[in-house]
A and B are shown apart, each in its own frame.
Chain A
Amino acid sequence: MFQQPIIKVQNLKRHFKVYKKQPGLMGSIKSLFKRKYETVKAVDDISFEIKQGEIVGFIGQNGAGKTTTLKVLSGLLYPTAGAVSVLGFNPWDRKSKFQKQFALVMGQKNQLWWDLPAMETFLLNKAIYEVPDEQFEKTLNKLVDLLKVSEILNIQVRKLSLGQRMKCELIAALLHNPKVLFLDEPTIGLDVVMQKNLRDFIKAYNKEFKATVILTSHYMNDVKELCERAIVIDKGKLIFDGKLQDIINKYARNKILSLVFSKEVVKKDLKKFGEIKEFSQDNSSYTATILVSRKKAALVASDLLKELPIEDLNIEEPPIEAIIREVFQSGNV
């Protein structure tokens, strides 16, 4: 079925003028009188389209321009150049009709009233977004169930843990059932279990409401688990847009073979199969991991099984962090 894209970004640029301080105290004093300005190209000619129901991962190093892009899409920043449309609206117009259909969650900021229980913010948002009583009740119950936070809704927000707070932030942002959801590092600072909880939740929300989600994250696990499609940006430029699996195929030159031997082997015998990453032979456990080129992985594995006393063998993808690092190093795609 042909589907209209719900988010369209064409040649988007967002530049900032920032002043450059010279180092040291003298620099500070000089800058009181005269300042040198320079232009930071936070987003520099980016284009993409996103269809309804997609979960897209924004990957990029710190300062790549992820947050800036999301802010332009939310109508918080005016683009320096280019055209942006979300749900058929120009975000910058900040129409209520548009604002009622999307939400932005920022992992490093909170919209909850700090000194009051989260429930107060929920009720305020209900009024602001004009959510009918029945729908509010239903959505709130569902979200509270999914996130298991029924106990903490009436506790002052400042007394909650980071993870609990983030869950409440998500609820506050989702009470009006937004069709489009921008998540800017929603899992930042959370422990692994909590990260997993939130990921599961985001997946469930996407399924339940057919919501379109853009997610930025430092944690590759977030992206790997949630997003089929990834957009990689670096220094404001889009350097990859496509299936996450495609980046992996293209940039992961190697696969990792992890081996368990039934008895001792000599390191030298292993060398000819690939680059040895780890090798340990103590007491009763003999293990090793080796890197082999991905095309030859299957072949090498069968050779290994033939020639060495192998008890267990696993072929794994390298961690996605390593792959992305390679994408950045290569410059473009």
Chain B
Amino acid sequence: MYKYWLIAQLFWQDSLVYRASFLMWRLRSFTSTLISLSVWSAIYQHQSQVFNYSQPAMLSYIFLTAILHSLILSTSLHSLANEIYSGQISFNLLKPINFMGMLISQELADKAINIIFAIGEINLLYLIFKPSFILPPSNTILIFIFWVALGIIIHFIINLLFGTIGFWSPDSWGPKFLFFMLIEFTAGKLYPLDILPQIIQKIISKVVI
């Protein structure tokens, strides 16, 4: 087990080497949430109810999706395709270590670093917007956790599949980018889906689900 823990540690060290790009990465996720919150705050200036959502409910929604986003959609597998294509993956296959175990420990390390910084950023945003939180009902919390865990697993598997593009091409960003746009939209990262017109909701539920 120790080897997997060590891999996670090296992964963290490696992520923190380039301070500038690390900061930019965090700034991007911070700004994206900041913009969402600003837009919705502006909309609620002159009305208390938009699409059946009160201002606290909407802001709570944005805060919660920001946390879920960094928990579920973060991944260390972006480099997998390139590693396969370049053959760099060989070194891991040569060693007496479980390759999947290695990928999983890196994935968890990546999620850990993401969630730690995301929580820090969210605290900062909380100080700026000072929303009153409306939390989801607590009787569904177990189902919620289960659902998040499944989301993490499914996302991991989908990224493994994108990684196999590396058998043909070094670059998996094209299809991945499209996929992420679709995910952010259909998973309601930007706003709750039930504010969309009925027809679009129908399409999404037919096509995606």
Contacts and interface: CB of A to CB of B under 8 A. Distances in A.
A116 B17 contact: yes
Contacts, number: 52
A99 B10 CA distance: 22
A123 B9 CA distance: 12
Interface stretch (A54-62, A124-132, A198-206, A252-260): A124-132
Nearest to B87: A109
A270 B119 CA distance: 88
A104 B3 CA distance: 20
B95 A129 contact: yes
Nearest to B17: A115
B95 A128 contact: yes
A319 B96 CA distance: 42
Contact of B97 (A75, A97, A103, A128): A128
A14 B152 CA distance: 39
Contacts of A75: 93-94
Given A76-B90, A115-B17, A116-B17, A127 B2 contact: yes
A310 B38 CA distance: 95
A116 B96 contact: no
Interface residues of B, number: 19
Interface of A: 71, 74-76, 94, 96-97, 99-100, 103-104, 106, 109, 111, 113, 115-116, 120, 123-125, 127-130, 156
B7 interface: yes
Interface of B: 2-3, 6-7, 10, 13-14, 17-18, 86-88, 90-91, 93-97
Nearest to A127: B3
A127 B6 contact: yes
Nearest to A121: B10
A129 B96 contact: yes
A75 B3 CA distance: 22
Given A116-B14, A128-B97, A129-B96, A111 B3 contact: no
A123 B91 CA distance: 15
A10 to B, nearest CB: 23
29 contacts: A71-B90, A74-B94, A75-B94, A76-B93, A76-B94, A94-B93, A97-B96, A99-B96, A100-B96, A103-B94, A109-B86, A109-B87, A109-B88, A109-B91, A111-B91, A113-B10, A113-B14, A115-B14, A115-B17, A120-B10, A124-B3, A124-B7, A125-B95, A127-B2, A127-B3, A127-B6, A128-B96, A129-B95, A130-B96
